[in-house]
Amino acid sequence: MVKDLMKDGIKVYHGLSGELPIGINKSGIKSIVTIHDLLWQEFPEDYSVVDRYVYDWKLKGAVKQADKIIAVSEQTKTKLLEAYPENNVAVINPIVAPEFFHQHDLKENQEVLKRYGIDKNYVLAIGNSKGRKNIKQFIDFIIAEIHDLSILLIGNRGDLPESVKVINQVAYQDMPALYQSAIACIYPSLGEGFGLPILEAITSGKAVVTHDASPMNTFDSPLCLTCDTRDKLSARKAMKKAIEISAIVAGESKPDAKVQRYYAETFMNIYQSP
C-alpha cells in the first residue's frame, strides 16, 4: 500500500480508525492517525483473545509510526497516554453527520417510520449485545417507568424480550428521522471512546439517558441526563426525567456551517503543520 501511495504522489495520509500502513514512516509521507478508543483493554470480556492481540498490535504500530496522533475524547487521550506516555496527542471531538443538520417535517418522519414498520411511540436505544453496552439490564430497569411507550433498538437483539422492537440495519440517512420521532433516547453503555449517539440525540432535540462516567458525562447539554445505569433506582429516576423533558423541550439549536467549517479547519491545521 505504501508503494501505491508514493506512486500516486500522496503527501499526507490519515488513518481514520487506529491503524497505519506498515512502513509509512519511512516513505516521506506525513502520517496522522485517529484513535477512537482502547476499549478492548478496559473491557476484555467483550473481545476475543485474537481480537485483543490484533488491536494491540495495530495500535502499537500506528503510535510508533504516526507523525501526529488524534484522540476523539479526553478520555481516549488519557487511556492512550497511560499506555504510551511519550507521545503528544491532540483531541478532536467528532461532530454529527450532515444528515442531522436537517430538521425533517412530520410527513417526512412518518414516511421513514412506516418504511420500518414503526407504529408506536417509542424510546430509542442504540447498541449491541456486548456487556459494556449494558442494554438488557438497563431495559429491564426502565420497563416499568416508560408505561405505554415501546422500546426501539437499533442494533442486535441478543437475549432481549420480544416486546423490544429491534432493527438490525438502518440506512444512515434515515437515522435523523428515528431520533427526531423518539420520545427520548437511552445510551447506557459503561464505556465509550466518545459516544456519538449521545450527540446525535442532543442534536435531534431529544433527552438522552447515559452512564455517569467519562466521556459519556462530558456533553454540555441539559438534554444529557446521567445516572448510574447499573442501578435500578438511578436508572428509573433519569428515565422519568427524560420523558418529562421531552414533553416540554423545543429542541436544541442545530449545528450550522460554522461547526463544519471549524471541524474541517482543525484537521487542515494538523495536516499542514510541520
H/E element, 89 = strand 89-91
Q: Are residues 134 and 237 in the same domain?
A: yes
| Same domain assignment for residues 102 and 195 | yes
Which residues are CB-neighbours of 43 under 8 A, at least 6 positions away? Answer: 130, 131, 132, 190, 191
Same domain membership, residue 104 and residue 59: no
Asked if residue 229 lies in contact with residue 134, where contact means CB atoms within 8 angstroms, the answer is: yes
Together in a domain, 121 and 190: yes
User: Cα 191–94–244 angle (5° rounding)?
Assistant: 65
Whether 89 and 217 share a structural domain: no
| Dist. CA 199–CA 195, nearest whole Å | 7
In a domain, 256, yes or no: no
pLDDT at 252 over 70: no
Q: What is the C-alpha to C-alpha distance for residues 239 and 152, in angstroms, rounded to an integer?
A: 15
State residue 254's pLDDT score.
55
Residue 15 pLDDT exceeds 80 = yes
- Could you tell me the residue range of the domain that residue 204 belongs to? 98-248
pLDDT over threshold 80, residue 69: yes
Indicate yes or no: pTM above 0.85: yes
For the chain, percent of residues with pLDDT exceeding 70: 96
Lowest mean pLDDT among 16-30, 142-156, 208-222, 228-242: 142-156
Is residue 23 domain-shared with residue 62, that is, in the same domain? yes
Let me know whether 89 and 104 are in one domain: no
> Is 255 inside any structural domain?
no
Q: How many structural domains compose the chain?
A: 2
Q: Do residues 36 and 18 touch, judged by C-beta distance below 8 A?
A: yes
**Same domain, yes or no, for 213 and 110?**
yes
Query: Within a domain: residue 148?
Result: yes
pLDDT (average), residues 129-158: 91
Give the Cα-Cα-Cα angle 110, 113, 117 (nearest 5 degrees): 135
Q: What is the pLDDT of residue 255?
A: 53
The verdict on 27 and 140 lying in the same domain is no
Q: Do both 40 and 156 map to the same domain?
A: no
- Triad 12, 16, 22: Cα angle to 5°: 65
Q: Angle between the 232-248 and 135-146 helix axes, to the nearest 10 degrees?
A: 60
Is 267 in the same domain as 205? no
Alpha-carbon dihedral 184, 160, 96, 181, rounded to 10 degrees: -40
Per-residue cell: 15: 488513518
pLDDT digits (tens, 9 = 90+) for 184-205: 999 999 999 999 999 999 988 8
Residue 33: pLDDT above 90? yes
Distance CA(100)–CA(120), nearest Å, equals: 23
Q: Name which residue leads in pLDDT, 234 or 265.
A: 234
Q: What's 172's domain CATH number? A: 3.40.50.2000
pLDDT in tens, 227-237: 999 999 999 99
Q: Assess whether pLDDT exceeds 90 at residue 166.
A: yes
Q: What is the mean pLDDT of residues 241-253?
A: 71
Question: How many whole angstroms separate alpha carbon 261 and alpha carbon 39?
Answer: 30
Q: What's the number of CA atoms in the CB half-sphere (13 Å) around residue 41?
A: 14
Reported confidence tier of residue 256, pLDDT bands at 50, 70, 90: low
Identify whether 172 is part of a domain: yes
- Residues of the chain above pLDDT 90, percent: 71
pLDDT category at 11 given cuts 50, 70, 90 is very high
Q: In what order do the strands lie in the sheet with 12-15?
A: 12-15, 30-35, 68-71, 89-91
32 and 116: one domain?
no
